[in-house]
Chains A and B, each alone.
Chain A
Amino acid sequence: MGLGLGISVDWASLVPYYAQVASAFKARVEADGGTVESMSCLKADLKVLNPIKPPAFDTDAQAFITAASITDSTQQSAIDTLVTDLKTAGIWTKMKAIYPIVGGTASSHKFNLKDPRDLDAAFRLTFTSGWTHNADGAAVTAKTATYADTHILPSSELSTTSTHMSYYAKTLTNGNSQVQIGDAEIDSMWLGLYSSSYYGAIANTYQDQSYTSSPAYYLVNKPSSTQLKFIIDSSIVGTKSITTGSFSGTQNLYLNNYENSTTFTSISTCAFATIGDSLTDTEASDLYTAVQAFQTTLGRQV
């Protein structure tokens, strides 16, 4: 329900609050020898006269909600819960970028939850032509050289020994040669599907893991200089030995591609993505739990 002030209010949640205030006010008026017309009239008056109880959102959640112009109360609540869950699990500070892809438009999908300033320096997303934005996320439906630039340059922003990338695929077309997150350098940084395997590369060293392609939450984690872990949803599906490696790329990380080409465009719907420091196994599990709860609240979980 709107007040004409650009504020959306869930009156149902405020009924107990107004009932309590109305009861206290009625008691005081009657103690002074006055009368009130009725409790229902009083409650209605209070809705106009009394300040609306502001939602107590986490300040980081509120900053994102404001920047992305999220007005839907379910989406607002989901974002707030996501932020508090990530903070409780100790994951929040490990993130360089969190893309909730919520709100249904490019204008809302572009914001980084960690730093919701509308700036490239805040690692906002900028989308090429070819995307379709809706409540499920940001979708690419054909191999059309489509991508979203994260403005994160691995050599400047990430560690060769402690990095993770994750991508929540709401939809995923089964096929080879699809990069969900990557930069332009061969082997440098990418997470994707290739030759019937699920590949992860961080700092110029890669490994692959056999898998059955399906919509899921994919995460590649480099918890040490010599180890790479593949995680699908809450399961560690592979732990591989790698060499330390180094970043050689000069291009930012992209979502749904690794360069401006059609060949490796990922035909998938991105409903969430993160880039940041490495995670412990427990943190990776907690991240999945938080993200899945977020998606379930939004009705788009897989």
Chain B
Amino acid sequence: MIGYKLTLEQKEAIQGVQFSDATFFNCVEDIDGVWFLFLSEQDTNNLPTEYAYLLELPQEEFVPPVQEDII
């Protein structure tokens, strides 16, 4: 799964920020503690110009951290 790779500062700037009605940026850490952002095509099309820089960020393969079992 490919996502946009963020610096900590970039993550802090957008995490939880609403960018369209009822939708907010959500970032997630990979196995190495690096922050990633995933956008749907619809998100990309609705992205306000002030956040267009996000689409220029490097895209890399996301490796999830080892997850605690749900049961």
Contact = CB atoms under 8 A, between A and B. Distances in A.
A190 B20 CA distance: 28
Interface residues of A, number: 37
Contacts of A190: 70
A168 interface: no
Helix, strand, loop or mixed for chain A's interface? loop
Nearest to A147: B26
Interface stretch (A18-26, A40-48, A223-231, A256-264): A256-264
Given A130-B38, A131-B42, A194 B22 contact: no
B40 A132 contact: yes
Helix, strand, loop or mixed for chain B's interface? loop
A263 B43 CA distance: 21
A126 B26 CA distance: 11
Contact of A126 (B24, B41, B71): B24
A128 B23 contact: yes
Contacts of B28: 145, 260-262
Which among B20, B23, B41 has the highest number of chain A CB atoms within 10 Å?
Answer: B23
Interface of B: 1, 3, 18-26, 28, 37-43, 62, 64-65, 67-71
Interface of A: 105-107, 109-110, 124-133, 141-147, 177, 179, 186-187, 190, 194, 199, 201, 206, 258, 260-264
19 contacts: A105-B21, A106-B21, A106-B22, A107-B22, A124-B22, A128-B26, A130-B39, A130-B40, A142-B1, A144-B1, A145-B38, A146-B26, A179-B70, A186-B69, A194-B70, A199-B71, A201-B71, A258-B70, A261-B67
